Amino acid sequence: MIRRQELVRKLQQQTADYFKGKGYTIAKCGYILEKRDNWRNNIILEEVAEYIENEKRYREQSNIPFPLHKWIHHGLSSQACLFNLLGPFLANRDYTTLQEIFLLSEPGLKLIGNISSAEFEFEDRNIFNENQGQPTSIDLYVKTDKDEKVFVEFKFTESEFGTCSVYEDGDCDGANPKVNLDSCYLHQLGRTYMKLMEKYNLLNNVEYCPFTEFYQAYRLLLFALENNGYFLLIHDERNPTFLIQYNGIKRGIYKRFKQLLPRGVADKVFILSIQQIVEHLEKHAKYDWLAEFKKNYL
Q: In this predicted model, what pLDDT tens digit does every residue of 129-165 receive, in sequence order? A: 999 888 999 999 999 999 999 999 999 999 999 899 9
Three-state secondary structure along 163-226? Answer: CCHHHHCCCCCCECCCCCHHHCHHHHCCCCHHHHHHHCCCCCCCCECCHHHHHHHHHHHHHHHH
Taking residues 287-294, what's their average pLDDT?
A: 96
Whether pLDDT at 178 is above 90: yes
Calculate the average pLDDT of the chain: 96
Write out pLDDT tens, residues 29-71.
Answer: 999 999 999 999 999 999 999 999 999 999 999 998 898 999 9
- pLDDT for residue 237: 97
Under a CB-based contact definition with an 8 Å cutoff, are residues 245 and 235 in contact?
no
> What share of the chain in percent tops pLDDT 70?
100
Under a CB-based contact definition with an 8 Å cutoff, are residues 24 and 38 in contact?
yes
Whether pLDDT at 167 is above 80: yes
Tell me the domain boundaries of the chain.
Answer: 4-297
Cis status of the peptide bond prior to 107, with omega within 30 of 0: yes
Taking residues 198-206, what's their average pLDDT?
A: 95
Nearest 5 degrees, angle CA 228-CA 231-CA 237? Answer: 170
Q: How far is CA 294 from the centre of its chain?
A: 19
| Amino acid (one-letter) located at 269 | V
Q: Residue 3, SS3?
A: coil
The reported pTM is 0.96
Taking residues 110-133, what's their average pLDDT?
A: 96
Under a CB-based contact definition with an 8 Å cutoff, are residues 135 and 219 in contact?
no
> What share of the chain in percent tops pLDDT 90?
92
Under a CB-based contact definition with an 8 Å cutoff, are residues 86 and 259 in contact?
no
85 confidence band (pLDDT: 50, 70, 90): very high
Whether pLDDT at 265 is above 80: yes
- The interaxial angle of helices 95-103 and 274-281, nearest 10 deg, is 120
Say which residue, 29 or 286, is predicted with more confidence.
29
Residue (of 123, 91, 96, 124) closest to 111 by Cα position: 96
- pLDDT for residue 137: 95
